[in-house]
Structure 1
Amino acid sequence: MATIPWLADVLRGAGIQVVTHGDWLNRMRPGSFSPIGVLWHHTAATSSATNPHPALNICINGRSDLPGPLCQALVDYHGVFHVISAGRCNHAGTARASGPIPAGDGNTMLIGWEIDYNGVNQEMTAAQYNASVAATAAVLKQLGKDASYARGHRETSTTGKIDPSFVDLNVMRSDVAAKMAGGTAWSAIVDNSTAGRFTASASWGVSSYSAQRYGADYRYADPVAASDAAWYKFNVPATASYRVEAWWPAVSGYNAGTPYIIATTTGNQTVYVDQRVNGGQWRNLGTFTLPAGDANRVAVSRWSGSAGYVIADAVRLTRV
């Protein structure tokens, strides 16, 4: 039977905090193991900062109906990889074909991460997601495979598994690919003309006056002491830290105190910018923790104490 004794070293080489447990090099299930990909799971246990790996013992020793080990590594609340096994584990069962992964014995074909969160009313933490992306990228490089060989259990399960919950697996693969290429993780731009992603009332006009605009045009409105924001909608892949940037055309008569509202995990935060200057480029509004999901994340508000048009052009989010 093949094993992957290199696992802990490869993870450490990727900058991941690793803890090995017991005789992990020889802890495994009988049967073949010749991995070609990585499979993501969630444990269904509720983790926390003070109880970061509640499912660790079960993943090592198994359950009454399923002997352990149940994964090659468990990813705890803080993003620490607990390496359990260098060999075959009971984590994938019979697999249906998914992407480049053929139908067959999932425990033979796939290395499994059990990410310790409950998946019902708890999402994986930013630390868990970022560590899992980095680990998956490093292991796939070691296997000589590309990011398409990263799958979620719900994609391969023949019994209706739903894990890992609250993760867009296509975005995950994009992030793994970017990590493998040495590039930046997930980033997205919403312009005022992006279909289905920008909303504003009829009070917001359309202009192409300034050549500093992003795209063909931008929106403008008079300042008013009322709630009438233009919103930018993003499908944020995971709760994590994101750099928020804005693009506006700068004109001397535009607003000196335009409010940008960022919908963070702890509530709305407002950043004021002077749209008379620094136009025609991405300007950093700050780094914020944003919740996962497809929703309005950034707004340009008309509620300004300064004179001059308030401008809504483009917004970019980048995970950091």
Structure 2
Amino acid sequence: MAAPLSAVRFLAALQAEGVRVVEVGNWRTHNRNSRGPWGPVHGILIHHTVTSGTDATVRICRDGYTELPGPLCHGVIAKSGRVYLVGYGRANHAGGGDPRVLQQVTDESYGTSPSRPTKGNLDGTDGNCHFYGFECENRGDGKDPWPEVQLDAIERVAAALCRAHDWGAKSTIGHLEWSKDKIDPTGFTMPAMRARVAKRLAGKPGTPTPEEDDVSLTPQQAQQLAEIHRERAIAPWTYKGTAETRDAYAYLRDTSAAIRSVDAKVTALKAIDLTDAQIAALAEKVASAPGLAATIAEAVAQKIADRLAE
């Protein structure tokens, strides 16, 4: 048995694990405690929201709706990896579930997954009392992707609370593992997520897993990475207009070569002793010709304008 963390300790645990937290309004005191007990807590429950858009998702999870008042969880894990704290205390997220599963989670006595639940909302044990709940922004149709940054946030959230309570990874389950009525989360498996949480718990708070920490490159990999960076740097300049034979990179290269040539000629002229009459004649010719810098600037501006117009 474990008493729930205070809101202060809850927030500190998440931040210590490297979770990017966004505090929403009066989340510390926004709860359903008047409707039933909050605690003892035995684990973390992961959900998907069946929504799209972070702002709308956070608003729904905080406020709920007519049939089910908010908060609908303690935190919303957005696709960006940010975790929006919307409530703390008893929240309408778990509903009824299988008491056998609750015992297995409490004891961390199951294998890869808890027993298949045979109880649900109408005939199950009150889960709102016993689980921290996190809603994850996803349509839940099996097609909406789960960005790695979001999966990393789920992993960190679970590890943070497991670490704070001295629990193992098996204290983290999905809603579908708790209630026979639920299918969430859809799109990744909870055994795979528990494996990630276990690896993170093997390290220090907030540190990468050993796999993430090994960023050493062989000489061949370093050369390949340098080539990728070079190609990406040049790529934006390979644009050709509809009637162009050369790309923008070629124009810049040729312009640079022309400027270097002019500089060389100017340097050579400086070394020649000219009479006052010769200097006056050259000045007259330069004054009558269009400026080189202005010509180049106009040409580049026209190329940019042509590109924007297409």
Alignment TM-score > 0.5, same fold: yes
Partner of 1:219: none
Unmatched segments (≥5 aa) in structure 1 = 188-240, 245-272, 287-320
What is the 5 A alignment of 1:135-146?
135-146=157-168
Shift of residue 108, structure 1, vs aligned partner? 0.8
Shift of residue 162, structure 1, vs aligned partner? 0.8
Residue 181 (structure 2) pairs with residue 181 (structure 1): no
Distance 1:152 1:2 in 2: 19
| Aligned counterpart in structure 1 of residue 125 of structure 2, from 98, 101, 104 | 104
| Aligned counterpart in structure 1 of residue 77 of structure 2, from 75, 78, 103 | 75
Partner of 1:317: none
Partner of 1:253: none
One-letter amino acid of the counterpart of residue 162, structure 2: L
- Secondary structure of the residue that 1:40 maps to in structure 2? strand
CA contact (8 A) 1:21 1:84 kept: yes
CA contact (8 A) 2:74 2:88 kept: yes
One-letter amino acid of the counterpart of residue 47, structure 2: H
Shift of residue 2, structure 1, vs aligned partner? 5.4
Distance 1:179 1:83 in 2: 22
CA contact (8 A) 1:44 1:119 kept: yes
Partner of 1:20: 23
Partner of 2:13: 10
Partner of 1:113: 134
Structure with the higher helix share, 1 or 2:
2
Shift of residue 13, structure 1, vs aligned partner? 1.1
Structure with the higher strand share, 1 or 2:
1
| Cα deviation 1:86-134 (Å, max 9, x = unaligned) | 2110000012133424872111110011001111120322111101101
Q: Count residues in correspondence.
A: 196
CA contact (8 A) 2:43 2:130 kept: yes
Partner of 1:42: 48
Distance 1:141 1:175 in 2: 14
Shift of residue 186, structure 1, vs aligned partner? 9.8
CA contact (8 A) 2:43 2:105 kept: no
Shift of residue 54, structure 1, vs aligned partner? 2.8
What is the 5 A alignment of 1:260-279?
none
The structure-2 alpha-carbon separation of the partners of 1:2 and 1:180, relative to structure 1 and needing over 3 Å to count, comes to closer
Distance 2:197 2:5 in 1: 23
CA contact (8 A) 2:203 2:209 kept: no
One-letter amino acid of the counterpart of residue 180, structure 2: T
Distance 1:40 1:186 in 2: 25
- Secondary structure of the residue that 1:19 maps to in structure 2? strand
Between 1 and 2, higher relative CO (CA 8 Å, sep ≥ 6) is seen in: 2
TM-score by length of 2: 0.56
Shift of residue 3, structure 1, vs aligned partner? 5.8
Distance 2:5 2:55 in 1: 25
CA contact (8 A) 1:91 1:112 kept: yes
Partner of 2:270: none
The structure-2 alpha-carbon separation of the partners of 1:125 and 1:54, relative to structure 1 and needing over 3 Å to count, comes to farther
- Secondary structure of the residue that 2:76 maps to in structure 1? strand
Moved more, 96-105 or 131-140: 96-105
- Secondary structure of the residue that 2:30 maps to in structure 1? coil
The structure-2 alpha-carbon separation of the partners of 1:60 and 1:10, relative to structure 1 and needing over 3 Å to count, comes to same
The structure-2 alpha-carbon separation of the partners of 1:63 and 1:15, relative to structure 1 and needing over 3 Å to count, comes to same
- Max Rg structure: 2
Percent pairwise identity: 29
The structure-2 alpha-carbon separation of the partners of 1:101 and 1:44, relative to structure 1 and needing over 3 Å to count, comes to farther
| Cα deviation 1:138-163 (Å, max 9, x = unaligned) | 1111122111000000000132x111
Distance 2:133 2:84 in 1: 12
